Amino acid sequence: MFIRSLTFLFAFLALFSFHNSHPWLQQYRMQELLSNRNCFGCNLSGVSLEGRDLQGVDVRSTNFQGANLANANLRSANLEWADLRGANLTGADLTGANLANTLLDSARLQGAILSHANLKGINFRDTNLTGAVLVNAVNGDHIQEKRSPLLCRTLLPNGILSNRDCQRLIDILPIASN
């Protein structure tokens, strides 16, 4: 009985691992996103959606680590809790997008439009915002609030490097000092 249970457990873990990382599944999820405008919790790490029209998509909790979303139309997209670490969002239009609690560490947002975007709870650690438009971004300049964007080694739209919150990040997340 024990060996049978153990065999089932290993089979389940192997299937789960295969399910989340296989390239054909990732391609299927990308097509699902493009046709249904929704891909909640999908693994789309490393995909290229450069220049795609993704206006209004619901991609909450989706993994876009290292993805290429340059020049994509993400107006009014729901990216809450998405993982965009290391993603290329150069020139992307994120007007009115919900980016609350999104992971943007080391993302490239040069020339991105973030007007009226929800930036609550964002950590812009090592993020390049050169030339980005942040007009009327929600919670963009209120560092006193608990869930405001954190800036550490962040290149701001005006080309200035901000280390404003590096110490705060170290206090909150000891691994952030790496």
Q: In this predicted model, what pLDDT tens digit does every residue of 15-42 receive, in sequence order?
A: 444 445 567 777 888 888 888 999 999 9
**Would you state the structure tokens that stand for residue 23, as one six-digit string?**
């390239």
> What pLDDT is recorded for position 169?
61
Closest Cα to residue 85, out of 71, 60, 106? 106
Q: Would the pLDDT of 133 be above 50?
A: yes
pLDDT in tens, 159-178: 788 888 777 666 655 444 44
Looking at per-residue confidence, does 161 or 49 come out higher? 49
Reading the block at residue 34, the tokens are 């493009």
Structural domain boundaries enclosing 69: 1-178
CATH number, domain with residue 165: 2.160.20
Domain tally, the chain: 1
